[in-house]
Structure 1
């Protein structure tokens, strides 16, 4: 029965976990968030200072706090302390920004490479047999490491340019000639992506140790014949009644 090396166990656990976190970051629209206070007391506003709504005083009617969030494929706008929320596919200058498109391409490539690497790693570990396919497992680890580096690059590019991505685009749903100023900051999806990318690099690096062949000890009774995990026993040795046979698990 094969004892799976600790490096393979670490790689086969961390790599899928990293893939799930990066995928979660890719599909959620919280890569960056911003807040803007929208004045409601202008000539064309719907609410006037002298008119009170249901449970709303003058101060709450004078302005609304808008919460804006952007992801790689979706943006959302919500009024604070309200169920009013609208999401739409990214469009305009933000969608056409080369840095956003670069991040999208790198993340998609990363997900594909990581998935392929995990499949190869599972085939290489071969927990149902005595001998792992070390070369296959290590190749899968290399792909997972490359996937982690690509997603780290995408996250770095996006984070470095976070405050300059497509701000000229007006926000859908706002009937204003000029969108309010947004104070943007990193959001939760970025943190999921960073954590997942680091786990991919760690898991893939652990699988890379599979390239290293185990060092098998020779049989004490017959030093010139090495005991290899590929052989449960040696016929030349087992034919001798006074010779002990050692089975080594590497």
Structure 2
């Protein structure tokens, strides 16, 4: 069986969404904090769910592993960690299941298994969207040393990766499930047609074969007529000679 092109494209999109979610998980840029009192004006604080970094706009120096116990003790941080890790794991499992269900090295694919993989990928996208949307919703309510709080690029990447996985998972599940249903119906119809064709054969007429058979049957008839005519004239000639 050749793997459908649409399925391959969906799997590529899922892989891209997984990379975006991985970046969202590990990068310390869920939000940025500017204009922190008591610090240089060009100081920018980058906060993620695993790490916090400090950078300065006047230079390219970035200092990470900044400790902020109060920030990491927020409920959303722990929930986001678990759900993003679950997203990464479930996405990989879903890709493996889809690959097993629609593998191209056998003639009979397991479409139901592939559809289950699409459902897992859809669920993984939901696992990514929920913590990102929640964090975005309470962005300004999480304790911060400044009121100048801005959305980090991880929020955008998380939304994008989760939506890609949701859409690709739905496409896989719908396409493979529909293929499974149509495949079963066509299989039943095919079996019925085969049985009917065996019990009630309908031979097709061949025009050329009929013509050849008609010509072949007419030749002996013509020869027989010719023989009868020759015998008739022979008999007539012999009777005339006897009379003379």
TM-score of the aligned structures, taking structure 1 as reference length: 0.69
Counterpart of 2:101 (choices 124, 138, 156) is: 124
Count of aligned residue pairs for this structure pair: 197
2:200 is the alignment partner of 1:201: no
Counterpart of 1:191 (choices 156, 171, 175) is: 156
Q: Which has the higher strand share?
A: 1
Q: Which residue of 1 aligns with 2:143?
A: 166
User: What do the CA deviations read for 1:81-118 (whole angstroms, capped 9, x no partner)?
Assistant: 11332111654111111111111111111111111111
SS of the equivalent of 1:165 reads coil
Distance 1:2 1:84 in 2: 51
Matches within 5 A, 1:11-90: 11-36=10-35, 64-88=41-65
SS of the equivalent of 1:225 reads helix
Where structure 2 has 5 or more consecutive residues not aligned to the other structure, the ranges are 205-244
Q: Which residue of 2 aligns with 1:2?
A: 2
Bigger shift: residues 89-98 or 183-192: 89-98
Q: Which has the higher helix share?
A: 2
Counterpart of 2:177 (choices 211, 219, 225) is: 211
Contact 1:106 1:150 in 2 (8 A): yes
Distance 1:64 1:12 in 2: 45
Contact 1:73 1:90 in 2 (8 A): no
Cα distance, 1:121–1:90 mapped onto 2, change above 3 Å: farther
Cα distance, 1:132–1:90 mapped onto 2, change above 3 Å: farther
Q: Which residue of 1 aligns with 2:113?
A: 136
Matches within 5 A, 1:143-154: 143-154=120-131
CA RMSD of aligned residues (A): 3.0
Q: Which runs of 4+ in 1 moved over 6 A?
A: none
Distance 1:10 1:90 in 2: 42
Query: Greater relative contact order (Cα 8 A, min sep 6): structure 1 or 2?
Result: 1
Cα distance, 1:225–1:124 mapped onto 2, change above 3 Å: same
Distance 2:54 2:124 in 1: 31
* Displacement of 1:34: 1.7
Where structure 1 has 5 or more consecutive residues not aligned to the other structure, the ranges are 41-62, 168-178, 227-233, 243-250
Bigger shift: residues 116-125 or 206-215: 206-215
Contact 2:119 2:169 in 1 (8 A): yes
TM-score of the aligned structures, taking structure 2 as reference length: 0.71
SS of the equivalent of 2:42 reads strand
